Amino acid sequence: MAQPQTTTITGHLVLPDGEERVRLAPGVLTIRGERIESVREGPIPDSGCDFGGPGCLISPGFIDAHLHLPQFDSIGVEGLELLEWLDRVIFPAEARWADAGYAGQMAGRVARQLLSFGTTGIGAYATVHAAAAQAAIDAVAEAGLAGHVGQVLMDRGAPPELVRPAKQLIEEASNLKGRGRIVPAVTPRFAISCSDDLLRGAGELAAKTGQLIQTHLAETTAEIREVGRLCAGLRYTEVYARAGLLTPRSILGHGVHLDEQDRQVLARAGAVIAHCPTANRFLRAGMMDLAAHGRAGVAVAVGSDVAGGPDRSMVRVARAMMETARQLGHSGPSASEAWWRITRGNARCLGVADQTGSLEPGRWADVVLVRPDLEWRAGPDPIGTVVWGWDDRWVERVWVAGRAVPA
Ligand SMILES: [Zn+2]
């Protein structure tokens, strides 16, 4: 049998620094087959390595904790509030996934785009169509990505072609098969489009299978009012709590409009908020207070939420997270913390940190080689220079489970 191929990359390694930051260290990374074989700190060799050099940054692949695969061709439709945007832009786009062949083809195309931006792990939504969700799992896995893809569960509040009876949806979702590094996730869209029966069924399915739960929570005030109207005045967090949907394996998109009581509920449950700052800005939903979540002990992941968010690059999303926090008057998170969040932090939130999200021997070789055209090492905060000055053209090469993807 042929020996697995070995690749050596040199440059400035992005390594964990304490709990929630990264640091840079010169050195050499070796990939053997699908895994990282070694990570050696030390001088950058002049020759003998396959890729990189003294001007390069070697990062773990980026992880996008919240995005919608069928929405990538709907980026940038401006001027609508969330619920209107769903009706007029998103539901028609998702209806096209009734054709599973089209869905698989599109999901494959989206996966290749994500890889070109350095994203190697995802928490993604498909559509309500079971065959399309399976086709998306297969296509995204085939491209090499790691993470979760879920069939969207909706039994009300959407056009007739996008709703199904609760029982049918739960049965379909329970029959989805993982493939490669992608596993299915239980994905009720949000309380507006799910009856109590469907939410409860989703909670039971997640408890039975141990799958991750993905849904949306408190993105806009109009959405919260509608949930109050549909759910007998219950608090939004209470609606999910009753259905068994607040768990340490729950990723709740947005969480923009929450108060201290909600945060306590989330913190006690160990549920994760997926902060989507570019989407909140684009749909003018409001600004999520990252610091308040941190103080309350709520875990926070970061997502592009394409197409609510127009940016596919997780570094741009990280930068938007920093900008939002600054607008709210906070000095953090730093660029180092932001980089940690889009790599190891997100891996932890998605439950894959023992496999990816950091440059450590034995992990999957999900690696991004970045060659900035700025003198990024000259200033006092090199990671800050890279994040604030980010240009996607700097992504020189990406490895996904050891397989090189031309960037
Ligand atoms: Zn979303």
Q: What CATH number matches the domain at 62-349, 3.60.20.10, 3.90.1200.10, 1.10.3720.10, 3.20.20.140?
A: 3.20.20.140
Residue 326 CA, ligand 1 centroid: distance in Å? 23
Residue 256 CA, ligand 1 centroid: distance in Å? 13
Residue 34 CA, ligand 1 centroid: distance in Å? 31
Residue 253 CA, ligand 1 centroid: distance in Å? 6
Closest CA to 60 of 335, 351, 360: 360
pLDDT of residue 19: 87
Residue 278 CA, ligand 1 centroid: distance in Å? 11
Residue 301 CA, ligand 1 centroid: distance in Å? 13
Buried b (16+ CB within 10 A) or exposed e, 63-96: bbbbbbbbbbebeeeeeeebeebbeebbbebbbe
Strands 62-68 and 51-60: unpaired
Residue 305 CA, ligand 1 centroid: distance in Å? 5
Residue 187 CA, ligand 1 centroid: distance in Å? 11
Specify the domain boundaries for CATH 3.20.20.140 within the chain. Answer: 62-349
Class of the CATH-defined domain 6-61+357-406? mainly beta
348: its two tokens = 């932890």
324: its two tokens = 């939002």
Which single residue is written with the structure tokens 């996904």?
400
Specify the domain boundaries for CATH 2.30.40.10 within the chain. Answer: 6-61+357-406
The span from the CA of 146 to the CA of 357, in Å, is 10
Cut 0.95: pTM above it? yes
pLDDT of residue 2: 74
Residue 308 CA, ligand 1 centroid: distance in Å? 7
pLDDT of residue 1: 61
The span from the CA of 209 to the CA of 247, in Å, is 13
Residue 276 CA, ligand 1 centroid: distance in Å? 8
The span from the CA of 194 to the CA of 202, in Å, is 10
Residue 352 CA, ligand 1 centroid: distance in Å? 20
Per-residue pLDDT of the chain (407 residues; tens, 9 = 90+): 678 889 999 999 999 998 899 999 999 999 999 999 999 999 999 999 999 999 999 999 999 999 999 999 999 999 999 999 999 999 999 999 999 999 999 999 999 999 999 999 999 999 999 999 999 999 999 999 999 999 999 999 999 999 999 999 999 999 999 999 999 999 999 999 999 999 999 999 999 999 999 999 999 999 999 999 999 999 999 999 999 999 999 999 999 999 999 999 999 999 999 999 999 999 999 999 999 999 999 999 999 999 999 999 999 999 999 999 999 999 999 999 999 999 999 999 999 999 999 999 999 999 999 999 999 999 999 999 999 999 999 999 999 999 999 75
